[in-house]
Amino acid sequence: MLKQFAVLLKKDIKLIIRHKFLLVMLASLVIYSLYINFIYVSEGTKPIETNIYVLYEEQEQNLTSENGYITTVEDEEALINALEMDSDGIGIRIDKSGNPDSVILYHVSEKSDNLKALYGLNRVIDGYDGLEVPISYLQKGDLELKQRATMASVIIFFEIAAISFLGVAALFFKEKSMGVIKLYGILPASKVLYISSKVLLFLVLEIIFAVLMCLLNVGVEYSLQILPQVVLQVILLSPIMVLLGFLFALVYNNLKQFIFAYTLIIVMVTSPVFLFVTTSLEWDGIYALPTYYAYSSLYNAMLGNPNPILLYSLACIVTILGLTITNYNLMKREIERG
């Protein structure tokens, strides 16, 4: 059985090399890393969409930078009013010594409060060290790391949920179009091995991708801290997405139908979670999407603040087993139909 599994794995490796999947993966690693290092981090530190309202109490104003996103208000009432008008804004009150007295975040989710507060303070106070503000664990300098980790988590998740999903489906459609899928019905090898070899291959590729993504974008030192948790998340998530890609490829007759479904999934199920996990946006419906929990777990692992793993792991394992059984039966049906 082990020998047969090795044979299947070798064949799948040959196929993904010949169909240039590895090239796509490598290109996306390079392009996304260049984006994070040269565009996202340098451009992304600017508060593009977030307005900062500053109240200076009994002291001379000392704005360190002037731009359209920073507004000085005269009193607390004006500050509250400004935040009521702009639910995504940040209010900062500076005491007479020039230190921040408090950071007021109006209707902002807990997960992004700290990031946004630090964001605002860094814009308003030159050399702000965070000591006087009720935000304990973020310090100046963490912002960029956090941004890098956030974007890296988005890309790793997208790679798994979209590229692998599409990759395994493309591979399967190729085998389906060549008709070789029918041969697996009459070979002395289990169909589960056929499915498992793809799961393992994509898992290994995703782990390599995630490790390289971390090393290239959040640095070696931080990567070493977070990688065990991140790899664990990849181990739990990648088989699910590969098996889902396989299932969709089995359900849909051709690549065109599949691409339509795939686009819907990307637009409706995968992309929104990035928005709701990494920003202050709130929507109750997002909690109904399994991808929300999957991405949250990866995101928190990337930020060095992993979620409790036991229940989540259990849910993932049950899902993997369920999908394997479903795919086995669908594959059997596909072979019978031929």
Partner 1 sequence: MIKVNNLNFSYKKGIPILKNINFTVQKGEIFGFLGPNGSGKSTTQKILTGLLSDYAGEVKIEGQEIKKRGIEIYKDIGVLFEMPYLYTSLSAVDNLEYFGSFYPKNQIRDIDDVLELVNLKKSYRKKPVKRYSKGMRQRVSFARVLMSNPKILFLDEPISGLDPSGAILFKKIIREEQAKGTTIFITTHNMYVADELCDRVAFIVDGEIKALDTPKNLKSSEDQDSVEVEYELNGVNKQVKLDTKEILNLFPFEYDKIKSIHTKELSMEDVFVKVTGRGLK
Kindly list the residues in this chain that would bind partner 1 in the complex (CB under 8 A): 3-4, 7, 11, 14-15, 18-19, 175, 178-180, 182-183, 185-190, 335-336, 338
Cβ density class 86-114: b for 16+ within 10 Å, e for less: bebbbbbbbeeeeebbbbbbbebeebbbb
Residue 20 beta carbon to partner 1: minimum distance, rounded to whole angstroms = 11
Closer to partner 1 by Cβ: residue 4 or 319:
4
Residue 247 beta carbon to partner 1: minimum distance, rounded to whole angstroms = 21
Residue 38 beta carbon to partner 1: minimum distance, rounded to whole angstroms = 37
The residues, ordered by sequence, that sit 6+ positions from 240 with a Cβ below 8 Å of its Cβ are: 294, 316, 319, 320, 323
Residue 326 beta carbon to partner 1: minimum distance, rounded to whole angstroms = 18
Q: Burial of 27 by CB count in 10 Å (0-12 exposed, 13-18 middle, 19+ buried)?
A: exposed
Closer to partner 1 by Cβ: residue 11 or 93:
11
Residue 273 beta carbon to partner 1: minimum distance, rounded to whole angstroms = 36
Phi-psi region of 112 (alpha: psi -120 to 50; beta: other; left: phi over 0): alpha
Closer to partner 1 by Cβ: residue 12 or 159:
12
Distance CA 230, CA 302 (A): 6
Q: Is there a contact between 48 and 30 (Cβ–Cβ < 8 Å)?
A: no
Closer to partner 1 by Cβ: residue 5 or 252:
5
Closer to partner 1 by Cβ: residue 169 or 294:
169
Instruction: Look up residue 286 and give its DSSP letter.
Output: G
